[in-house]
Amino acid sequence: MPQTRNKNMIDINCATLTGRLVSDPRIFNKGDSVSFALFTLASNQSYKARDGSPQQETAFVNCKAFSTWAAGLEGRKKGDMVIVEGRLKTETWEKNGENHTQLTLICHTVHVVTRAPRPGTVAANKTDENGDGERHPIPF
C-alpha cells in the first residue's frame, strides 16, 4: 500500500544543547560591531552500559551565532558553559578542489551559564602547582 504524505505536516528543525566551549570563540567584526562568532560546543551524555559500568560520550557541535548573540560571546573562554538554541544546517564549501560538508548549529539564542565559584568552595580555593592563587582555565 503506497504511503501518502500528510500535506499538513511540517518539518521541525529545532535543537537545544548545554555544553562547554571547546576553545575560545572566534569573533568576527564588521566595522565597529560584531558580525558573527564561530565556536564548538562539547555536550556530554552519561549512561550505564549493559554490564552496569558507567559510560560517557561527548558530542562536539560546531555552532555559529550572529549579531547580539555573537557579541555576548566576547571575552568568553574555553570551558565556559553555555546553553544554545537554534536550527541545524548542512554547510558545504570547496577548498583546494575538494568539497567539504559540515553540520552546524545556527544559534537563535546563546546563554552563558558559567558562574564564578562561591567563596570557601574547593574550586574557589584551588591554586596551581606554584601556589600563585591564580584561577586557570579548565584543561579540556
Scan for cell 505536516, then name that residue.
Answer: 9
At 117 the pLDDT is: 57
Residue at 132 is within a domain: no
Contact yes or no for 134/127 (Cβ under 8 A): yes
Helix and strand numbers (H, E) in the chain are 2, 6
- Residue 22 reports pLDDT greater than 90: yes
The residue segments making up the domain with residue 97 are 15-125
Residue 119 is classified by DSSP as T
4 vs 23, residue with greater confidence: 23
Rounded (10°) CA dihedral 121, 59, 106, 139: 40
Strand, helix or coil for residue 127: coil
Identify the band that residue 2 occupies on the pLDDT scale cut at 50, 70 and 90. low
For the domain that residue 87 is a member of, what is the CATH number?
2.40.50.140
Q: What domain count does the chain have?
A: 1
At 17 the pLDDT is: 95
- pLDDT per residue as tens digits for the range 32-81: 777 999 999 999 999 999 999 999 999 999 999 999 899 899 889 999 99
Residue at 75 is within a domain: yes
- CA 121, chain centre distance (Å): 27
Q: Which residue, among 64, 46, 63, has the nearest Cα to 55 in the 3D structure?
A: 46
Residue 97 is classified by DSSP as T
Residue at 3 is within a domain: no
Residue at 86 is within a domain: yes
Contact yes or no for 37/26 (Cβ under 8 A): yes
Residue at 4 is within a domain: no
Residue at 136 is within a domain: no
- pLDDT per residue as tens digits for the range 95-123: 999 999 999 999 999 999 976 555 665 54
Q: What pTM value is reported for the model?
A: 0.71
